[in-house]
């Protein structure tokens, strides 16, 4: 007997958004299941950050729906957000709190009695532990970025959404974060959606890639296709993506 299909952790249906008269998302459809590691790829200005903000409830989409772990974001935003980890923008971190105070606040919001050991372990992997008891205002940009990521991952919710998380991280920390995310998808069935331009990095560990152009998801590469690309010495995700972009550009001109 085949296993019962599990419902997606994230479901976007006909999502639209515009800034004033400028449409940015044009009917985005996406479903991500437990244990999937999906890269959201697209040229500058294609709408990746807007999409992530809409699905995290930071921006209210003008049309369509967002469901997280079966809960509709518009109907019950608190319950939907409880199932979502979204890295906090470094510029929004409170300057006078310490990293530990920020993390404890987030743990409290998530209903946890104390800061979980998983957060402290990740802090050590990211070499953030020495910064835990210092004020955010003394952090470098990369250190702020680490805290934003740690905050998003507090309590290990079933869906993690990250916007260029490796940007600004030193190579050891970027590697530790990647390994941590891969571990979460494989061992806990966490679903990860990662917006990135770093294709050579993403290629090695994602299970699916999807390409956003002008607010539409126009192409997708599944696990089997990604495996074939990885095993072909003459191919790479970067090359395949550049070709897809060129095809789309050609199609737009006709």
Ligand X SMILES: Nc1ncnc2c1ncn2[C@@H]1O[C@H](COP(=O)(O)OP(=O)(O)OP(=O)(O)O)[C@@H](O)[C@H]1O
Binding-site ranges for ligand X (CB under 6 A): 19, 22, 24, 42, 44-50
Q: How many residues in total does the chain contain?
A: 254
Closest CA to 39 of 222, 249, 234, 248: 222
Residues 129 and 123 sit within 8 Å (Cβ to Cβ): yes
- In order, the DSSP letters of 198-223 are -HHHHTTT-SEEEEEETTEEEEEE-H
b/e sequence 202-235, b meaning 16+ C-beta within 10 Å: bbebbbbbbbbbbbbbbbebeeeebeebeeeeee
Cβ nearer to ligand X, comparing 49 with 71: 49
CB of 157 vs ligand X, minimal distance in Å: 22
Instruction: State the nearest-atom distance from the C-beta of 42 to ligand X, in Å.
Output: 5
In this complex, which beta carbon is closest to ligand X, that of residue 50 or of residue 173? 50
d(C-alpha 197, C-alpha 44), whole Å: 9
| Smallest separation (angstroms) from ligand X to the CB of 212 | 7
By beta-carbon proximity to ligand X, the closer residue of 53 and 208 is 53
C-alpha 50, offset from chain centre: 12
Q: Rounded distance, CA 11 to CA 33, Å?
A: 9
Give the nearest distance from C-beta 22 to ligand X in angstroms. 6
Rounded to a whole number of angstroms, the minimum distance from the CB of residue 125 to ligand X is: 26
Cβ closest to ligand X, residue 19 vs residue 91: 19
Is the Cβ of residue 48 or residue 208 nearer to ligand X in the bound state? 48
């Amino acid at each position: 007997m085949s296993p019962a299909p599990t419902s997606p952790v994230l479901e976007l249906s006909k999502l639209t958004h515009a800034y004033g008269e400028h449409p940015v998302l044009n009917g985005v459809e996406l479903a991500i299941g437990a244990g999937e590691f999906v890269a959201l790829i697209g040229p500058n200005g294609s709408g990746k950050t807007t999409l992530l903000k809409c699905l995290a409830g930071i921006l209210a989409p003008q049309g369509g729906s967002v469901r997280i772990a079966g809960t509709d974001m518009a109907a019950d935003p608190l319950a939907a957000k409880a199932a979502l980890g979204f890295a906090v923008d470094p510029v929004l971190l409170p300057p006078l709190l310490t990293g530990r105070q920020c993390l404890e606040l987030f743990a409290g919001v998530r209903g946890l009695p104390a800061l979980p050991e998983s957060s402290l372990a990740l802090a050590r992997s990211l070499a953030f532990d020495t910064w835990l008891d210092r004020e955010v205002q003394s952090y470098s940009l990369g250190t702020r970025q680490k805290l934003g990521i740690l905050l998003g991952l507090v309590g290990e919710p079933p869906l993690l959404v990250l916007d260029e998380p490796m940007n600004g991280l030193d190579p050891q920390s970027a590697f530790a974060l990647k390994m941590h995310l891969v571990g979460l998808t494989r061992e806990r069935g966490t679903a990860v959606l990662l917006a990135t331009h770093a294709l050579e990095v993403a290629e090695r560990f994602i299970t699916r890639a999807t390409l956003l152009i002008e607010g539409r998801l126009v192409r997708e590469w599944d696990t089997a296709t990604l495996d074939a690309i990885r095993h072909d010495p003459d191919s790479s995700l970067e090359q395949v993506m550049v070709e897809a972009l060129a095809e789309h550009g050609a199609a737009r001109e006709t």
